[in-house]
Every structure is written in C-alpha cells, then in structure tokens.
Structure 1
Amino acid sequence: MSQIQISNFALAEKFKNLVDLTIGGGQLVACYGDIGSGSEEMLKVLFGEKSPLQGKVRYNGEPIPQQAKALEQWRHKGVMLISWRLPLLEWLSVNDNLLFILQVRGYSVRQAQERIHQALEEDQLLASLDKQPQELSHVQHIQLLLWRAFLCQPELLLIESLLNELPKSLQEKWNTRLHQLCQTRQSIVMIHTTNLATLCHQVDYLLLFENGNCTSHGTPAKLLVEDNLPALHTLVANINPLQALTAGHLAKWPALTLDIHTMPDSALKAMQQARSSYAYLLNGKKLMGGLSLYQVNRALQQKSATLNEFLDLLPTITDDRPFSEVIAEGPAKQRDLAVIDAKGKYLGQLRHKQVLASLQDLLNNVMSDTPQQ
C-alpha cells in the first residue's frame, strides 16, 4: 500500500508553520489553491521535478530519487503524472501512444490492445484510435491523457488541473473512476485544483495552499468543523448534496445538508460526532435537510411536543433497499418525505402534510439547541 510522509515541510520562504503529515493508500487527495499559491508545486515535488525549500518527503519510506536515471526507474515502478507538460507524442497515433506506455509497464501487445479497446469504448473514443494527437478536440485530448495513466493503474497518480477543463458530466465520471482506483488498488491519487467544488464530495484529504505554502490540511470534516475555514463553507454550499449522497460520500461532509453559515459551531460539532447516525430528509429528489440522532434526543428533552409528532410518523425500519433503488422509482408524492441514513440506506417515509409545512421551522429549532455534554 502506498504512503507519503512529509516532515518539517515548506515550499516557500517566510513560513512559520512547517507541515508534518502522512497520507496512506486508498485516499483521493486534493491540493487546492489559486495559480501561484503553491498547490501545483506540491505535485512537482512528489514527481521529483522540484525539491522543497525545507523538509523531507518520502514515498513508501524512501526519499524521492534525485539522479535522473534513478528517478526514471522509480517512476516506472508505479508513479505517474498527468499534465499538459507531458502531452501525447505527436508523431504517434493515439493507439500507439497508449500501446507504448502499456508496453513500457510490462503488458504484452495483446493484453495492451484489449485494455485500450475496452477502456476507450466506455467513452465512445474508439474512433480516435487511428488519429494523430493534433487531430483531437481539446476535451478528447484531456480524456486520452487521463486514460494513458489510468490504464496503467499506478500506485501514485498525480493530476494537474485538467479535470477543471472537462464538461461536468465527464468530471463526475472521472472523479468516480479515480476514487475506485484508490479503493481497488489502495493507490494515492493527488489532484491539483483551483475549483474544489467539482470533486470535493469525493475527497478524503485536503491540502490548502496560500502564498506559496500549505496553510491547512486534514479531512473535510476536520477543516469544516474544527478549523471552521470560511473558504470551505463557500465551496460546500455549492455542492449538489443529492449527487454526493448517491455517490456514497456525504458522511465526509457532515455540515453539507443544512445552512452552514447560520448554524452554531456547537451544532456543527454535534453533527460531526453523530454523523454515522445522521438521517437525510428528501422530498422526492429535493434534499430538505437532516437531523442527527444526538440532536433529536437533545431536542426531545426540551421541545418534545413538536418532535414527538414528527418522530411518530417514522415507520418501522424494515426496508433494506439502497437509496439508489428508492430514488429510481421516481419523485415521491408531494407530501411524502423519504428518510435516508448516512450510508445511503432507505429507512422509510414520512406521510403528513404538516411535516412538510413545518419542516424548516423544526430543523431550525433543533439546530439552534446547544448540545450539552
């Protein structure tokens, strides 16, 4: 399993807080920051193109080689970079570009051709195989740069900000593929992005950069709830929560379903503590909000009348269908409210006109309670 270890790390001068962190395999990591913030430089350090101003970076317990020949051999063991600085070779066809990289990685011609055809068929790119790179559209070129690396299933995959240039539907498709690579191969995928909202419901770990250095790092929940970073609040507010829920990643963002700008910090922390038992309320396909069991129990002690009526409507939890099957049935009736747990399991429905009419007031009341330890 891959592992990155960073100690006493700084990319630029005039930085007091040196970075120490360990990133284990199976994680999708985002380096977020504007151009010039240092986020893109982090990938260059991990690919061996640049040394940090201060500190050490180790991959699988070993320092990244400095000598050119040793560095090239190290990369061939499973480290790849996707960048416009490493384009497809113009004198080779698309097919030969992909065939070449797979043969370098040890695949036979037959194995490589099978992988290429199967992969490109997924994205309707088979017609591009005989083309030269200069004949491709901008989007096709990005897709093939992604496929060139993805076909090799690297243990460490570094991606410069190409995903931002894809249409939204392709961004979502590639985010899912990259997350699957992390899960199946226990690889580390690190993406530099200036637009975290395009992938943050998939992200396991965040590195935030400013003025040339990493200024904060951690899981999304830690940065949102404990560090209370305003920049992330704005980003999370723009995520499609229903899409995040169906992708199975909503529990990583415990404050996602409600207005995080008006919620007290104490409520956010309570949501973090109780996120494994968090319920999401949906009217048809529209996400209405959510309640954690911790908050419900606290509110029951203080505002029992309204919440007792609310909870009495919950059916017995006997339905084990995944949320994807429930939502595939189509929008519920206007007065029906689906209840989904943090893992996407369908728990049942609420059927009462007054529940929908008073839902927002109810949520506001619950979230305004200060949890007592």
Structure 2
Amino acid sequence: TGSRADRAATQVHDIGLEVIKNETGETGFKVLVGGGLGRTPIIGSVIREFLPAKHLLTYLDAILRVYNRYGRRDNKYKARIKILVKAWTPEVFAEKVEAEWQHVKDGPATLTDAEIARARSFFSHPAYEDQLPDESRTTELLANKAFEKWRDRNVRPHKVSGYCAVFLSLKPTGVAPGDVTDGQLEAIAELADRFSFGEARVTHQQNVVLADVRVQDLPQLWQEARAHGFATPNIGTLTDMICCPGGDFCSLANAKSIPIAEAIQRRFDDMDYLYDLGDLSLNISGCMNACGHHHVGNIGILGVDKKGQEFYQIQLGGSAGTDAALGGVLGPSFLANEVPDVVEKILQTYVELRIEGERFLDTQRRVGLEPFKESVYAKAA
C-alpha cells in the first residue's frame, strides 16, 4: 500500500509492503511477513523498517528462498509463510532472510533508476485540466438530500484540485455484495470512459472506484450511476459489507453467506440510522478459509456446520487497516434466522456505550467483549 490508511490490508498477507520515505526523502518499503487469515489467522510482523526501492526484488527473492528451504511442504495446511514465521519468531525469520539476501543483493535483479522509470511510465498521470472549479452543486441539486448524502459518503478528495474519487457502490439491498450483471459491467466501462479517463479500479471491499472525476461532473455522474444501481450512499457503513459466495456457489463452504448478507441489508435499510452508527465494517465468510475476511471485520460472521445444520459464529473487534487486529469470538454460534437480531443487539449496545465521536471499533476496544456478550446472550442466561 502507498496510503497511510492501508487500503490493501497488507498486515494480513504472506508478504506486505508499505511504501514510505526515510528521513532523507528516499522512497522505499516497510516489509511485513507472516500475515494471513484462514484457519490460522495471524497479523503480519515487520522484518525490515526500510528497504530501498532498488533492492525490492532481491529482498523478496530472499524471503521466498528462506520459505522454500524451510517451509512445511509436508503438510498443505501448514505450507504458508505465516506458519514458519510463527514457529521461528519474526526475529529469527528476519535474520535468515538477511543472511540469504547477502547472496543476491546487488545482483542482476537489482532495480536500476532506468528500470524504475520505465515501470513508472506505464502509470503516467491522466491529462488533468487546470483551474477547474471545486464546486459541484448545481441549482437543481442544491437542496437534493439524496445527492448530498451520496457525495458525503461515496466521494473522496483528490490531490489534484478540481478532481475527486468516486465509489460506485455494488451493495444495493437485495443484491449479493459485489455482484454486477454483464450490462452493469458495460455501464461501468462507459462511465469510466466518460468521467474518469477510461480507468476503473476494483477495491477489495467489492466496490468500484472512478479515481479521477471532475468535481463539476458529480451531479451528472450521480444521476447516471443511480440509473444503473451504483449510487447507494453506503460506502463505509454497515451495509457496505464484504461477503464471500458461500454455500450457494462454493463447494468449500460450510454455510451460505449471501442470504445472511441480504437479511442484514433488509433489517438495516434506514440510511439515517446507518449514518448515525458511522464507519463500521461487517465481513462474512462461509467457511474457515475466510475469503470474506471475517477475522478483520469490526463485526465478523463465520458460517460453520454443526451436524449438517448451518450456524454462524460472531466475532468483534477486527480491523484490516493500519490498526490491524483479529476479532474476538463473542460466544456460541447462532442459527441463520437469529443473525439479524444478534447484530441489532450488538449495535444497540454500541450506541448505549459510545462516547461522542467514538467509532464502533473504538468503543468495542475500550469496553471489551463482555458488555456485548451480556446483551446478546441475555435470553439464554
């Protein structure tokens, strides 16, 4: 990631790279290893605080050489970098990598300034216009609350004056999170051509971003996005959830995910309530492989199988950002039809306990799991 907000969940991957500058202004990378989700969720560890850009490929080569030599090839469930890092400790793994790196450092794979410049040339800036207005409110939309809500939630500032980044939400109620039709794909391509220099980006939150939109074009883009079903103003809210295909489509799943997502969408369809809750991530996986990143959702839901019946385990307190953390299991799992009620009790507890300006994650970390357990399991007590 090159963002301070870490939009790539770098701490939960085998290898994570954060683009940084050192005290002299040189660009390089902070290197993390050993992260991952699945049956053994682990937050990655930093093994090098600053790696000059020219050494990126040789250092990555050293990491893979160490893993290939010492990793658990005898057991497919343990054939991951994170298992080796956990067994050795990050400090020992870092020592092994540094020692291996000495054999390839400054070798043929070292990146020259010319090679870095060549690679950068494939990602040149669009032909931005100068002196564009920063205002988009036309007379007819000045009092349009729907437009204002969309702009507040789905539009982000841009480093170039007069431009902004726009999220096309793929999370309308009643549609599987992240799903689009063939016609909608065509519409996205057309919107990208007309409003964002022909470029659209898919996020790991299962939305699409038009990264270079003129601010003055927002009203027209909003109207057309709304016509195609892309203007739900819910980016960053509870219903902007990550959800795997689950048992409806995946042969590995223990339980269905999409019906749970829809049930939550329909229960919490009051946008004013969602805005009052603020930024909140909810992730759903249909099995322990964690394709829905449930471990790092503020609220995580995991589908489990109990003697042929689908149940759902709830976790709280996860995060995939710079404050990455694994959620804690709330307690015994629930039947599918109980999940929306459980989520509602969790949210009620948050609203009762939060202090002004406090996000769900902040409140949960401050008070712990116990108040939420008491609320959710009160009936069984």
Using the size of structure 1 for normalisation, the TM-score is 0.25
Using the size of structure 2 for normalisation, the TM-score is 0.24
Q: Higher relative contact order by CA 8 Å / sep ≥ 6: 1 or 2?
A: 1
